[in-house]
Amino acid sequence: MTSFTLSDPQLALVEKPIERKVFLEGPAGTGKTTAAAAHLLGLLASGVPARSILVLVPQRTLASPYYEALRRPTIDAGGLVTIFTVGGLAQRMVDLFWPLIAEEAGFAHPDLPPTFLTLETAQYYMARLVRLLLDQGYFETVVIDRNRLYSQILDNLNKAAVVGFPHTEVGERLKAAWGGEKSQMRIYDEAQACATRFREYCLAHNLLDFSLQLEVFIKHLWSINQAPPVHGSAAPPPPDGSASPAPPVHGGAGRLCRDYLLTTYTHLIVDNLEEDTPVAHDLVREWLPHCRSALLIYDHQAGYRRFLGADPENARTLADLCDERIAFTMSFVTSPDLETFGAHLAHTLNRPTTRQDTPPSLPSLPSFLSLPPLPSLRYHPQMLDWVADQIATLVHEQHVPPGEIAVLAPFLTDALRFTLTNRLEQKGIPARSHRPSRALRDESATHCLLTLAALAHPEWHICPTRFDVAYALMQAIDGLDLVRAQLLAEIVYRVRDGKPTLSSFDLLKPDVQERLTFVLGNRYERLRAWVEDYVASIQTPLPEAERGGGRGAEPFDHFLSRLFGEVLSQAGYGFHRHYDAGQVAANLIESVQKFRWVARPAPRNTEHATRNTQHASRFTFHVSRLGQEYIGMVQDGVIAAQYIRSWRLQPEDAVLLAPAYTFIIANRPVDYQFWLNVGGRGWWERLYQPLTHPYVLSRGWPRDAVWTDTDEVEARQEALYRLTLGLIRRCRRKIYLGLSELDELGNEQKGPLLQAIQRILRHLPAETET
């Protein structure tokens, strides 16, 4: 039936009768997703039309196993299996049924199409609205970067949508749970005011961020109205021609969407239920009675996306609606020794994973853990040296592929990433990093591209500092170090009449040219000439009939694509064979493209402008200035949206440096893990979020209950337990614990994770304690 190599429990699941609803549960690494992918192929092999199958995942990256299964050459040609997140499904349905529900949902211009916002473009509009309020004194007592402030207000809207309560209640819920100083109450009121203003602006201009997409879908396209059925109305027949498994739903034109979904998708596969939201669970709960088959998959002791609204407790209640409940227990990843270590760690944190009061005895330490020689590792750099040496031993002496090694920390700072990457490169070991929530402006490749863009568009009057130009040249030109880059920028970079310019390398004095070298000078000159030619081309006057935007109206993403393809990716330049820089460039170009689709340029055509006068945004600008507007957005520190290529298009044989939660959500096990700064409190503490609260804004939290220190400690302890157990279950052979007495800032490290591990080590056999 399939080309998978399956265990007996997996095979038994795949061979079950089709028309069954199964709840599959078990720890990570027990083969649940593999069995689900095989089940999907089994449905297709048995004649189930591909167009009647819907696969739901909480995050797009978790759909990769299903896409890979469907790419197999043995798959028969035909329809396509639909793979969505609930958010993606909501966007598709809102777009499809927009004319039926736009007016009912409260949009000011139901005759015009909707504009769907990404995380970045939602922050753009939020920033434009909130910045006006910041000037009036909003959030004066909040010490936080502006980009984090914008994202937390959006997060409040998202929490209301995924939990299922009105967005106008966010402020009151946060205030009811606050037990500290009364001055904080004002901050919650201000956050509520910003959220309300943003929602009103979206409704006035047909903009839909994630929260509004989901609310419109659930309230206007999915919810059942108890109105009597309309005589003669009926849902469209299922695409496979079979009888409809559900009676038609009536009570409004928008309810055609529910009819469409229930009759089209009669076979459900829902993976990683524990990472999804209460509204997603409600959707599945109402869908199940109308399905011919369903497979729901649940991970034990997971729920890592709780800060995004995940509700593992609510997800587990769906098991009661299934015909059968199956548990996978045998791990295909974790060794028995590491499983025992995980049980001991859970027991130490008062979170036993089994019903046993005391886990079985641990084996000898070298079989599953490795610790540095503690007396000699006092300082943080010494710990990094030890980590680099251990990785070098694994790669060069034990011939472990670098791709089977992951270096993990609660937070991967720029300094930590640079320092460790540099150490590994010196030892001839390739390394890559992955930080999906990193702000665009923090990437050196982004800085280089946008600085060169400012130089190529002098009419924007964006004048980078001399150091910014030097740093951009260092990134752009292969072999140019910072000292010579600063010398070059000091001589060639000038600002004239508020416009940045670069002078020719040929005008430099001979001794300076020799110091910079003619090889690097030639590369600089080629780059400068390309920029000069581009400036000349956009300043060339257009024919009279076409004037208005000039050639500067060329899409900004097209400019970046040309700059990358024609210069920076060529031999002798910084992005040539530099995978991380190429990936950042691709993400940046995609980001600009989506910004261009969403941003509101001032229309040139008078008739078109008149028609859209009321619909036009207050924040309009000429299309030729889109790049200028985008650079301003990036300088605000907008957090990057999720780019699938960042998870897929990576050099496989390289050591991975990533935050611990990012590694877990990627769901890709490795042979060896290195946990950095085990003594740090970052493993235990929550991210500082003064404007929101993931636990208070959840379905399980009582409306009038106060969040106490006891609740905070319990939540942190539970999160630490789930995080460490999730890492252990994604490690095949050994974990290396990076320890030092002092952290990067010179603070002594005595965090809860270190204390828990020390309690475990005290019970090891005496001969292994060293």
Q: Give 223 or 402, the one with higher predicted confidence.
A: 402
Of 389-403, 408-422, 560-574, 613-627, which gets the smallest average pLDDT?
613-627
Tell me: pLDDT of 369 over 90: no
pTM of the entire structure? Answer: 0.85
Tell me: pLDDT of 681 over 80: yes
CB atoms within 10 A of CB 277: 27
Q: How far apart are CA 636 and CA 328, in angstroms?
A: 47
Q: According to the per-residue pLDDT averaged within each range, which of 15-19, 563-567, 613-617, 620-624 is highest?
A: 563-567
Q: Which two tokens stand for residue 70?
A: 């469907």
User: Locate tokens 């400019």: which residue?
Assistant: 559
Strand locations in 44-106 (E) = 53-56, 82-84
What confidence tens digit (pLDDT) does each residue in 447-492 have? Answer: 999 999 999 999 898 999 999 999 999 999 999 999 999 999 999 9
How far, rounded to the nearest angstrom, does the alpha carbon of residue 610 sit from its chain's CA centroid? Answer: 39
Tell me: pLDDT of 728 over 60: yes
Q: How far apart are CA 758 and CA 100, in angstroms?
A: 62
Residue 134 CB partners (closer than 8 Å, separation 6+): 146
Please, which residues bridge with residue 406 across strands?
A: 656, 673
pLDDT for the residue 623: 55
pLDDT, mean of residues 192-217: 96
pLDDT, mean of residues 426-440: 81
Backbone angles phi, psi at 11, to 5 degrees: -65, -40
pLDDT for the residue 390: 95
pLDDT for the residue 352: 61
DSSP state, 361? P
pLDDT, mean of residues 597-603: 62
What confidence tens digit (pLDDT) does each residue in 309-319 have? Answer: 999 999 999 99
Mean pLDDT of the chain: 85
pLDDT for the residue 178: 94
pLDDT, mean of residues 244-255: 49
Under 8 Å between Cβ of 316 and 170: no
The CA-based dihedral angle spanning residues 279, 282, 284, 285, taken in that order and rounded to the nearest 10 degrees: 170
| Element holding 299 (H helix, E strand) | strand 293-299
pLDDT, mean of residues 502-526: 94
% of the chain surpassing 70 pLDDT: 85
What confidence tens digit (pLDDT) does each residue in 626-655 have? Answer: 888 888 888 776 765 555 455 554 556 889
Of 220-224, 386-390, 575-579, 632-636, which gets the smallest average pLDDT?
632-636
pLDDT for the residue 621: 53
**Beta strand 499-502 with 493-496: parallel, antiparallel or unpaired?**
antiparallel
pLDDT, mean of residues 373-392: 86
Of 40-54, 583-597, 659-673, which gets the smallest average pLDDT?
583-597
% of the chain surpassing 90 pLDDT: 58
Q: According to the per-residue pLDDT averaged within each range, which of 230-244, 403-417, 470-484, 627-641 is highest?
A: 470-484
The stretches of 164-232 forming alpha helices (DSSP H) are 170-177, 183-204, 210-216
Q: Name the nearest CA neighbour of 449 among 415, 433, 473, 420.
A: 473
pLDDT, mean of residues 80-89: 95
Under 8 Å between Cβ of 65 and 94: no
Tell me: pLDDT of 547 over 50: no
Question: Residue 602 — pLDDT band, cuts 50, 70, 90?
Answer: very low
CA distances from 45 to 42, 77, 194 (A): 5, 11, 52
pLDDT for the residue 441: 74
Of 43-47, 689-693, 764-768, which gets the smallest average pLDDT?
764-768
Tell me: pLDDT of 396 over 60: yes
pLDDT, mean of residues 527-533: 94
What confidence tens digit (pLDDT) does each residue in 756-770 have? Answer: 988 888 776 654 443
Q: Give 7 or 434, the one with higher predicted confidence.
A: 7
Q: How far apart are CA 585 and CA 569, in angstroms?
A: 10
Q: How far apart are CA 135 and CA 32, in angstroms?
A: 52
Residue 89 CB partners (closer than 8 Å, separation 6+): 56, 217
Q: How far apart are CA 394 and CA 388, in angstroms?
A: 10
Query: What type of residue sits at position 740?
Result: S
Tell me: pLDDT of 550 over 50: no
pLDDT, mean of residues 136-145: 88
pLDDT for the residue 340: 86
Q: What is the 3-state secondary structure (H, E, C) of 452-478?
A: HHHHHCHHHCCCCCHHHHHHHHHHHEC
Q: How far apart are CA 754 and CA 677, in angstroms?
A: 9
Of 325-329, 424-428, 436-440, 735-739, which gets the smallest average pLDDT?
436-440
Q: How far apart are CA 733 and CA 753, in angstroms?
A: 20
Tell me: pLDDT of 609 over 60: no
pLDDT for the residue 342: 87
Backbone angles phi, psi at 723, to 5 degrees: -65, -50
Tell me: pLDDT of 530 over 90: yes
CA distances from 183 to 136, 139, 148, 188 (A): 17, 11, 21, 10
pLDDT, mean of residues 14-43: 94
Question: Residue 540 — pLDDT band, cuts 50, 70, 90?
Answer: low
Q: How far apart are CA 385 and CA 394, in angstroms?
A: 14
Query: What would the DSSP string read from start to end of 677-744?
Result: -TTSGGGTSPPP-TT--TTTTSTTS-TT----HHHHHHHHHHHHHHHHHHHHTTEEEEEEE---SB-T
Q: How far apart are CA 575 and CA 582, in angstroms?
A: 6
What confidence tens digit (pLDDT) does each residue in 572-597 have? Answer: 999 988 877 888 898 889 888 888 88
Q: How far apart are CA 220 and CA 103, in angstroms?
A: 11
Half-sphere exposure for 384 (CA within 13 Å, toward CB): 18
**Beta strand 53-56 with 731-737: parallel, antiparallel or unpaired?**
unpaired
pLDDT, mean of residues 708-724: 93
DSSP state, 637? T
Q: How far apart are CA 311 and CA 185, in angstroms?
A: 27
| Element holding 408 (H helix, E strand) | strand 405-409
Please, which residues bridge with residue 674 across strands?
A: 407, 736
Q: How far apart are CA 474 and CA 481, in angstroms?
A: 6
